[in-house]
Amino acid sequence: MAPHRFPLAAPLAAAIVLALSPAAAAAPRTAAHASALAQASERTPTELDHVEVVGEMPGYTVHRSTTATRTDTPLVDVPQAVSVVSQQQIRDLAIQSMADAVRYVPGIGITQGEGNRDGLVFRGNSSTADLFVDGMRDDVQYYRDTYNIDRIEAFKGPNAMIFGRGSPGGLLNRVTKVADGVTTREVGVQVGSWDKRRVTADVGQSLSADAAFRVTGVYEDSGSYRDGVTVRREGINPTLLFTAGDATRITVGYEYFHDERTADRGIPSQPAAFEGTRYPVETSRSTFFGDPDGSPTWVDVHALTALVEHRFAGGAQLRNRTRYADYDKLYRNVFPGAVNASTGTVQLAAYDNATRRENLLNQTDLVFEANTGAVSHTFLAGAEFGRQETDNLRQSGSFLLGAGSPCLNTSATGRSGSCTVPLASPNVAAQIVYANNSANGSGDARNTGVARVAALYLQDQIEFSPQWQAIVGVRFDRFDLDYTDLRAGVSAANRDLSSSDDLLSPRVGLVYKPSAASSVYASYGVTYLPRSGEQLSSLSATTQALDPEEFENLEIGAKWDMSERLSASVAMYRLNRSNAAVTDPTDPTRMILLAGDSQRVDGAELSLSGQLTDAWSLIASYAYQDARTVQTVGGTPAGRVLPQTPEHSAGLWSRYDLSPRWGVGLGAVYRDRSFASISNEVTLKSYTRYDAAVFYRISDRLEAQLNLENIFDKTYYPSAHSDSNITPGAPRAAYLSVAMKF
């Protein structure tokens, strides 16, 4: 499969031309068409997956959500820790990735993702699948962008009642920019360190009294502080809004997104322990271990969406959302393994992996209100149906040895599964042959599978009095997976496998409100992760019969809207993971079922966001996490700290506007030490990184900002995939952004 070569640069340019055209500039910003659409919007239900900011000034604070409960509910009344990365925060911090988005979100960290995908750690639980867009599953492994994103919602703890399987420690939901009848003309350009070049566009307006459109787009071609690493991406996302009568809205959209980059697995660790632990090898932050030219990764995403909203005469609201998405993903990587201190060498290995998936998902929600005496109820009844078809092919890489090979292990000619290179010069161009080695038990994959999900859920938000509220909900999921192993040599008995799980996920929350702007809550929730239910990539005879993993969360907390522009929250929780299936340390071909409690995370988090004054905005966060295993696995004792989960982490970002034109920002992120893997043998040292920004409003239609990252050029290691794949943090960098409105 050959990577796509950016055919959408021309359409994106056309969108920019449209924004600059005289006809576009002449479109009235208060036209009757836009007014009619706005009035229609008021008569119809709020879009299900948006966090509304109606009547609020732009800033870092969001007060309401329609995602946490699928009903329009103040966040202060939601018995769950929720963080929202607002549009203003995305702009001020130049957020362009999911890793950037969670920098100041307590309780969520990042993993390396093997250099080809978003990898997040939610309350000690690593995941590449707990990512959603407009409330719908977007679980393929790739790097997402923010060009078409209005805000990003982070929900902590199990979320099965709303989102279904998975998300044990939390999830991220991206809310997209859609047609709304408001005239929008904006183009953004960014340049900076390591040949950073990026352009975005956002164009929208009403077409008639009953229709509107919006188009967002991105094109980027950038380098990296890592030798030979490049990033190229493009995307376009048009949406159309139609109103049918006074009570119905229909929103349809299509997104094409392509991301092409170098899969970068970072650097290895030192082979010898120092003061009881090992650390990353000492090398330049730019050193690439492996072959950057031989490590491409790319994804093509095509997604169609349709949302129908209707409000009945009695006030009940009906919403139906459909998403069809086609994903084509490939990554090939040459990456480091063990270091030999005596010879000063490091081993390289290689493989590639191709995934093709089609998702067809549909959600229907009915929301209505009723009273039983003095008690009021907001009921939610819904159903979700989905089908996910996945094809996977993983192939091992064999290095060609002999004359001309950069590998030092050339005592024998032919092919080898590893390549030994000098630690001082590990960036090599080796000849590699990729093949599916199923016959020798290497674990290579060639399979196809179909997952089907059918779910029903009910929820009652109860208001007993102005001081007491409760949320009671339950969801039932039927998760079926049919799987065919296409590798040569697989027995007939193990070729066609299937699994079925019936998942019952409750959620209960009690809220006490000392005042209308504050609350104290307690909540309990359960979620399940079926076998092969995260990435749908593997199933085997050893895992087929195992029960789903179960996650149970107990949480207490408090929230306070200190003003219309400033909010604070605190939460304490215990998250238990049971029935975990882990690899047998003595036999990597076997899975072991850990019945009962497997790991436990005890934690607390605090956050503060908003405006202290008209000129002073801030975001502050802190998280404490004690995340450990509670069972012995083979020779690995209980009590191991979960990977890449620091005990303490904190962030502080502050923006101060010196005048209507000038503003400055300063931020600091602290991460306590953590471990690269469950072995706890390799330590990622604690660090503090400082960032800054300068904002200049040239005119009402032109703004510029300069973002400075790692201003003191700190050497640090923010993430890893294993003990041998550790990512060095970026050196000092500067990025200049200009936003033009027309």
Asked if the structure places residue 99 within a domain, the reply is yes
Q: Region 594-605: what's the mean pLDDT?
A: 89
Closest CA to 367 of 39, 48, 43, 42: 48
pLDDT at 32: 42
pLDDT at 42: 39
pLDDT at 637: 83
46 pLDDT above the threshold of 80: no
Rounded-to-integer distance, Cα 452 and Cα 171, Å? 21
Asked if the structure places residue 4 within a domain, the reply is no
288 pLDDT above the threshold of 90: yes
Asked if the structure places residue 2 within a domain, the reply is no
688 or 497, greater pLDDT: 688
Dihedral over Cα of 394, 400, 406, 410: its sign: positive
Q: Region 490-502: what's the mean pLDDT?
A: 88
Q: Region 585-613: what's the mean pLDDT?
A: 82
Contacts of 96 by beta carbon, 8 Å cutoff, 6+ apart: 145, 146, 147, 198
Asked if the structure places residue 1 within a domain, the reply is no
30 pLDDT above the threshold of 60: no
Domain interval for residue 192 = 9-292+301-741
Residues 228-248: tens digit of each pLDDT: 999 999 999 999 999 998 899
pLDDT at 538: 60
Q: What is the pTM of this model?
A: 0.90
591 pLDDT above the threshold of 60: yes
379 pLDDT above the threshold of 50: yes
Contacts of 444 by beta carbon, 8 Å cutoff, 6+ apart: 351, 394, 395, 396, 436, 437, 438, 487
Asked if the structure places residue 343 within a domain, the reply is yes
Q: Region 581-598: what's the mean pLDDT?
A: 66
Q: How many domains does the chain have?
A: 1
Q: What percent of the chain has pLDDT over 70?
A: 87
Q: DSSP readout, 282-318? A: ---TT--SB-STT-EEEEEEEEEEEEEEEE-TTS-EE
Residue type, 340: N
716 pLDDT above the threshold of 50: yes
Secondary structure of 68-83 as H, E, C letters = CCCCCEEHHHCCCCEE
Asked if the structure places residue 495 within a domain, the reply is yes
Residues 432-461: tens digit of each pLDDT: 999 876 554 446 888 999 999 999 999 999
- Which helix (H) or strand (E) segment holds residue 162: the answer is helix 160-163
pLDDT at 15: 43
**Residue 10, φ and ψ in degrees, nearest 5:** -65, -50
Asked if the structure places residue 423 within a domain, the reply is yes
Partners of 235 in the β-ladder: 218, 257
Beta pairing, strands 566-584 & 587-611 = antiparallel
pLDDT at 585: 56
DSSP-H helix ranges across 44-157: 87-92, 98-101
3-class secondary-structure state, position 36: helix
Asked if the structure places residue 616 within a domain, the reply is yes
Residues 499-532: tens digit of each pLDDT: 899 999 999 999 999 999 999 999 999 999 987 7
Residues 732-742: tens digit of each pLDDT: 999 999 999 99
CATH number at residue 76: 2.40.170.20
Using only the alpha carbons of the chain, give its radius of gyration. 26
